[in-house]
A and B are shown apart, each in its own frame.
Chain A
Amino acid sequence: MPQQVPRLAAVFALAVVALLVARRQLIPDTFGAVGHYRAAAVTAIAARPVKYAGYQACETCHDQLAAKRLSGNHRGVGCETCHGPAAAHIEDISVKPQVPSTREFCVTCHAYNPSRPTGFPQIDPAAHNYPQACKDCHDPHAPVPPVVPGQCSACHAQIWRQKAVSHHARLACTTCHEADQRHKSDPRSMRPTKPVAREFCGQCHAQGSQATKAIPQIDLASHGVPYLCWQCHYPHYPEAR
């Protein structure tokens, strides 16, 4: 065997050993265990701390609020959407999550923006009862959309106040005016009725009617003919007599 062959072999062997050592040193432990990456990185990333606990965790203690939330229009909104990350609160109850109570927070979602989907409840923050806090009227855990007025007074406040101090105070508006339910949602298309006939007022104010003696009564056949009642007596006024 020529002299240079074992020498070369030795050099090659040394190179291979150096390569193996370098490889062991340079490649991290778990590299290639699963794929072309450090398998330990996956477990390290999976072990990062959780900050949003999830609404299920909130419900274990706040069960009444959770039930209320499910009953209302915020049923799809998670607790931490408004209250912020709450995992720290679950670990230590003295750490309080956020309680946003200002208008500025609610309008993050509910301010009018043309890019928002049609039908999503939106208001103009400058015009909608500024500067009251939203929660004064809307319960954030079960908010309700604006409802049509329950009473005539919501729109006809002036008449309602006059009537309240008149002799007709104890009569409901509907005693004399028939109002269809649709008048609330579409006032001009369904107008309430107004009594026009003398006989309508005569139900109480004619002699021989079944009303109490406290109510002034007249002879319908002779009193103020040929005028209608309201042409002389305005029924909402205190001085209606």
Chain B
Amino acid sequence: MTEKGGSPVEQREPSGNDGPVDRRAFVQSLAAACASGLPLLFGVVRVPGLEAQGEGGGAERLYGMGVDVAKCIGCGRCVYACKTENDVPMGPGTFNTWIERYVIKTDGEVVVDSPEGGIAGFPPTTTESDMRRTFFVPKLCNHCENPPCVQVCPVGATFSTPDGVVLVDEDYCIGCRYCIQACPYGARWFHPEKHVAAKCTFCYHRITKGLQPACVEACPTGARIFGEVEGRATPLARFIRFNDLQVLKPHLNTKPKVYYANLDGEVR
């Protein structure tokens, strides 16, 4: 960024003073100017979003998840597994992952509900006569490539790891809730006991040991597929290859790494 920013200034100086410029001298002075600007940049200015992005791209692994909406039965075992595995409090609104039930009525009205995040399943809807379509959608942190939550964190307590997982540093978070406001997917919540922001970690403590995330382990129908996004013969690579994929809110350019198959257009 600074290299590009510095060049027009440097270009103007010699041409204004000395007329025709020796190419070698120009390149040398340009390099010198850039070099003098670099330490200043590294010492003082850090752009978290950019750094995280750059590292993610060059990492050995890049984790993602596939969700097949047509396979979800809304049993809530993933919600239970996630809460158990990650010690998520049972209180309202504290979910790393949750299931939403969409009911699209004949008059076009869309009703979405998620009682207790769907942890105990869903009571059957009583009136089916005015129902056009209905289905379950599991939701979780999208582990965006351009995470808005990371951009807004004032202290650098939330970040993207080199393998593309967005995490929260519990010991460094000041609990300002800015990231909870910034997340367009509502995937973050405030920990009522620790007083820090909390979110899905893709079960980072499991995936680094070669295990599947708890929700994937617990899903009885294989609606969730976890793995590396690029370049390897993994179940996720196969899922990505053989399905028409969509992401949530693509217009926000957050570049989510949770890919949905068979997603209805009404899902937001």
Contact = CB atoms under 8 A, between A and B. Distances in A.
A112 B131 CA distance: 16
Contact of B217 (A41, A42, A80, A113): A80
Contacts of B136: 115-116
Nearest to B51: A35
B159 A52 contact: no
Contacts of B220: 74, 76-78, 81, 109
A160 interface: no
Interface string B93-128: 000000001110000000000000000111011001
Nearest to B172: A38
B3 interface: no
Nearest to B167: A45
Contact of A80 (B73, B81, B221): B81
A76 B120 contact: no
A115 B212 contact: no
B178 to A, nearest CB: 15
A114 B122 CA distance: 10
Contact of B131 (A42, A50, A77, A114): A114
Contact of A113 (B84, B122, B167, B171): B122
B235 to A, nearest CB: 12
A49 B211 CA distance: 12
Interface in A102-137: 108-109, 111-117, 120
A177 interface: no
Contacts of B131: 114
Interface residues of B, number: 58
Interface in B122-140: 122, 124-125, 128, 131, 134-136
A32 B103 contact: no
Interface string A62-86: 0000000000001011101100110
A156 interface: no
Nearest to B76: A108
Given A49-B205, A81-B219, 12 more contacts: A41-B170, A50-B209, A52-B85, A81-B81, A81-B218, A85-B81, A108-B77, A111-B124, A114-B125, A115-B103, A115-B122, A115-B136
28 contacts: A35-B51, A35-B162, A36-B48, A36-B51, A37-B48, A37-B158, A37-B169, A41-B169, A42-B167, A45-B167, A46-B208, A50-B205, A51-B84, A51-B214, A54-B211, A81-B77, A81-B219, A108-B76, A111-B124, A113-B125, A114-B124, A114-B128, A115-B102, A115-B134, A115-B136, A116-B73, A116-B136, A117-B72
Interface of B: 46-48, 51-52, 55, 70-77, 81, 84-86, 101-103, 120-122, 124-125, 128, 131, 134-136, 156-162, 167, 169-172, 201, 204-206, 208-209, 211-212, 214, 217-222
Closest 5 CB pairs of A and B: A37-B159, A41-B169, A36-B48, A48-B205, A77-B220
